[in-house]
Amino acid sequence: MISLRGTSASAGCALASAMKIDIVEEFSENLMITFDEKVEEEEKLKAAIDELDKKLDKKINFLNSNGRSDEAKYLIVQKYILNNKILEEWAYEFIEYEYSAVSAIARATKKQVEFIKTLDNGNTEKRIPDIIEVGKRLMYLLSGLNYPDISHIEEDVILVAEDIPTTMMRSVDHNHVKGIVLSKGSTKSHTTLISVDMEIPAIIGCDGINKMIKNGDQIFVDGTKGTVDIGLTEADIFECLKKISIYEKEKADIKEFANMPTITRDGKTIHLFGNVIDINTSARYRTVGAEGIGLFRTDFLYTEYEELPTEDFQFDIYKLIAERNKKTSVVIRTMDTGDDKSHTNLNLTHERNPFLGYRAIRIALGNPSILLTQTKAILRASAYGNIKILYPLISNITDIKGALKILEKAKDELRAEQIPFDENIKVGIVIEVPSAAIMIDSLLKYVDFIAISVNSLTQYILAVDRLNPIVAHRFNSLEPALLKTIKYINDAAKKANKFCYIYGEIAANQKNVYIFIGLGITSFSVNPTHVLPIRKFINSIDFESAKEDAEKALKCESLKEVYELLKSKSI
């Protein structure tokens, strides 16, 4: 057995056959044919369209018959796009200009997308990803390639790829996809977040795995440890099955905590909220008894669509999530994208270290029309529920003043248009860079609440790229420097009577939560899949003990001392 190491992206473990996925990033638009080959290419195109139509029918029926009608809707839209003839007719035109069927579809797809952009219609723009997907499916068929379809799989598999596009992850067959291993990927990517939400064990940054395995090889994924075991013997497989059995039992036992309050043994109430990655996953937090949405990520609007989202397009999404969650609050974080997850229309140049560059609020303030559009959409949705605005990557007073100036402009424009919104909408900022932590007293004067992104704060304070395997071992949020910073931030918020909470998957770690609670943090927002394990853990600890141990941790001079302290407490 060989054990490969990557970065844990989604907890859990799985044993299944490897299914390698090869993605063609781009098909050529410039493959030319002769006049005599036109008829043959037209026949190829017609055959591909007929075949895709049958494949979509089969997949739609499969999804509907297996209780997955929401996923089938995406394919129904694609079938409509295929059958409305626009793409087909434009492709035939390009064949007349002596382009191959593949290049004709590539050009026809591009032409249809550009045409839709000119319509300035939010509802129509929603179809752009589906048009692109239909085009890709046809080009795969015309090229004699198998489209990497993960929506209809007949046996249990672990997907192995360089990366998996979000559009493909939408329809993943979660009944048969037992794990995901990516040689690249990012813990912040939409694909990774979907795997967490679907409770599919996932590992990213597992370099070289594609060359070391072949389709059908039995592999074991431990998403908690971030390891992939290959070359398994019968004895290895037996041990893997034992690990899976233990994990599944723990998962089943924990469901009893779904309807329980989150209270320490000595009576301290802790509040748990859910992080939501898009509108399709916005209901998950309620099934585990989370108290609201502590983080609604809007990044997908700027990374998964060909065009920047319009005000109406965003409003429809924010309104829907507000209406679905009228009894709870919804914190909407404004665009938090950068070179690491960029949009083509933002015209970002490649940066050696995008986390220190032009991203998030810096892009928004550098392109005020983008932030104004998003702010107006959020404000309009606030008339339908308890919406709050959260600004990421605030580094100084100038940043928050700039954001608030745009907020006031958005309010003025909506008043002039006589469009209702919450005049007293709450505004918060993410504390994730050292300068914001140091200037917390001043920043708190301008906002109603703060959210600490411990993941980012750890990265910036320790100067560690957690995705770099050479230094990833240095990334740890229990470093004394982090603990002192978190306490300093929370104490300042309490003094100013402002709500403070921690969000991010670091808050799903028991050791971290224990110390954070001891430091005085009483609210956390995590992925819904982590709510029950964390609630179970919190309900087993004493607040006063956590408080005493946190005080001791603050006096530690090294991470090793903090771990020794926790080990002595069996945590």
Which range among 47-61, 157-171, 307-321 shows the weakest confidence by mean pLDDT? 157-171
Q: What confidence category does residue 31 fall into, taking pLDDT thresholds of 50, 70 and 90?
A: very high
Of the residues 253, 277, 302, which one is the last residue of a structural domain? 253
27 within some domain = no
- Same domain for 390 and 517, yes or no, is yes
Which range among 148-157, 520-529, 537-546 shows the weakest confidence by mean pLDDT? 148-157
What is the total count of domains within the chain? 3
Q: How many residues does the chain have?
A: 571
CATH of the domain at 315: 3.20.20.60
Q: What confidence category does residue 467 fall into, taking pLDDT thresholds of 50, 70 and 90?
A: low
- Same domain for 57 and 193, yes or no, is no
Distances (CA, A) of 171 to 9, 62, 160, 261, 310: 19, 12, 17, 34, 25
- Same domain for 39 and 187, yes or no, is no
- Same domain for 66 and 104, yes or no, is yes
pLDDT of 147 higher than 50: yes
pLDDT at residue 222, as a whole number: 95
Pairing of strands 386-391, 426-431: parallel
Q: What's the CA gap between 343 and 257, in Å, rounded? A: 40
- Same domain for 13 and 76, yes or no, is no
373 within some domain = yes
In terms of DSSP H, where are the helices of 66-172?
A: 69-83, 86-96, 101-119, 122-125, 128-142, 166-169
The burial of 77, by beta-carbon neighbours within 10 Å (0-12 exposed, 13-18 middle, 19 or more buried), is given as middle
**Residue 99, beta-bridge partner list:** 32
pLDDT at residue 227, as a whole number: 94
pLDDT at residue 340, as a whole number: 47
Q: What confidence category does residue 540 fall into, taking pLDDT thresholds of 50, 70 and 90?
A: very high
More confident residue, 133 or 485: 485
In this structure, what are the phi and psi dihedrals at residue 326, rounded to the nearest 5 degrees? -60, -30
Helix (H, G, I), strand (E, B) or coil at 20: strand
pLDDT (mean) for 485-490: 98
260 within some domain = no
- Same domain for 308 and 348, yes or no, is yes
pLDDT at residue 464, as a whole number: 87
The answer to whether the beta carbons of residues 260 and 289 sit under 8 Å apart is yes
Of the residues 253, 282, 316, which one is the last residue of a structural domain? 253
525 within some domain = yes
- Same domain for 345 and 433, yes or no, is yes
Residues with Cβ within 8 Å of 443's Cβ and at least 6 positions away in sequence, in order, are 394, 397, 400, 429, 431, 436, 450
More confident residue, 334 or 326: 334
Average of per-residue pLDDT values in the chain? 90
What pTM, to 2 d.p., does this model score?
Answer: 0.76
258 within some domain = no
CATH of the domain at 68: 1.10.274.10
Tens digit of each residue's pLDDT (9 = 90 or more) over 332-350: 999 987 644 555 456 666 6
444: part of which helix (H) or strand (E)? none
pLDDT of 73 higher than 70: yes
Residues with Cβ within 8 Å of 540's Cβ and at least 6 positions away in sequence, in order, are 265
pLDDT at residue 42, as a whole number: 95
- Same domain for 243 and 294, yes or no, is no
- Same domain for 161 and 138, yes or no, is no
Q: What's the CA gap between 203 and 180, in Å, rounded? A: 6
- Same domain for 415 and 522, yes or no, is yes
- Same domain for 97 and 217, yes or no, is no
Tens digit of each residue's pLDDT (9 = 90 or more) over 364-421: 999 999 999 999 999 999 999 999 999 999 999 999 999 999 999 999 999 999 999 9
In this structure, what are the phi and psi dihedrals at residue 317, rounded to the nearest 5 degrees? -70, -50
In this structure, what are the phi and psi dihedrals at residue 388, rounded to the nearest 5 degrees? -125, 150
pLDDT at residue 89, as a whole number: 94
Count of CA atoms in the C-beta half-sphere (13 A) of 388? 21
Site of tokens 């006063």: 544
Which range among 328-342, 471-485, 490-504, 528-542 shows the weakest confidence by mean pLDDT? 328-342
pLDDT (mean) for 413-432: 97
Output Rg (C-alpha) for the chain, integer angstroms. Answer: 25
148 within some domain = no
Q: What's the CA gap between 132 and 87, in Å, rounded? A: 10
The answer to whether the beta carbons of residues 512 and 464 sit under 8 Å apart is no
Work out the number of other CB atoms within 10 angstroms of the CB of residue 254: 15
29 within some domain = no
The range of the structural domain enclosing residue 68 comes to 35-143
Which range among 211-215, 289-293, 421-425 shows the weakest confidence by mean pLDDT? 211-215
- Same domain for 451 and 488, yes or no, is yes
pLDDT of 66 higher than 90: no
280 within some domain = yes
CATH of the domain at 12: 3.50.30.10
- Tell me the Ramachandran region of residue 264: left when phi exceeds 0, alpha when psi lies from -120 to 50, beta otherwise: beta
pLDDT of 466 higher than 60: yes
